[in-house]
Amino acid sequence: MRALAQRRPGLAAARFVNVVVGAGLFTSAFVWPHAAAQCTNTWVVGVLCSTFAIVAMAVPWVHHLNTLLAIWLFVSTWALPAPDVHTVWTNLPAAIAMFVASLVPWDPRVTDREERGAGSRIASGGRSAGARGNRG
């Protein structure tokens, strides 16, 4: 994973942001009073956010799970009871930061389709399907 992060510093920074946001959410769930549902939601989202961010460094599509998680956190902040304004003012910016960081692609110059194509070329000996047939 370290080599991957070195090749794609933007990826590593975006995933690191989500690791930190997840740790912050987890911590905040226990720092001030939350309603039971909001407390559980906050720490679970925090753990999942950090986990997805770490896994996304090795598995490209996993960053999309943090996108969905950010949407859930944003909606649940309003939908679940929050007796303390700190819950709202922690979860909303966290949801926005998670959402933005989760949308950072692997590499701005490489689309997911190209990334998958590179993997299949490696598996086929480094040649694309068209190059194998042109051995003249």
In the prediction, which pLDDT does 59 show? 85
**In the predicted structure, residue 127 carries a pLDDT above the cut 70:** no
In the prediction, which pLDDT does 105 show? 77
| DSSP per position, the chain | -HHHHHH-HHHHHHHHHHHHHHHHHHHHHHHS---HHHHHHHHHHHHHHHHHHHHHTTSGGGHHHHHHHHHHHHHHHHHS--SSHHHHHHHHHHHHHHHHHHT--SBTTB-HHHHHHHHHHHHTTS--HHHHT---
| Whole-angstrom distance, CA of residue 20 vs CA of residue 53 | 10
The model carries a pTM of: 0.71
In the prediction, which pLDDT does 7 show? 52
In the prediction, which pLDDT does 108 show? 45
Q: Give pLDDT tens digits for 13-70.
A: 888 999 999 999 999 999 888 889 999 999 999 999 999 999 988 887 888 999 999 9
Tokens of 133: 């047939």
What are the boundaries of each domain within the chain? Answer: 2-104
Q: Give pLDDT tens digits for 92-110.
A: 999 999 999 988 876 545 5
CATH topology of domain 2-104: Substrate Binding Domain Of Dnak; Chain:A; Domain 2 (1.20.1270)
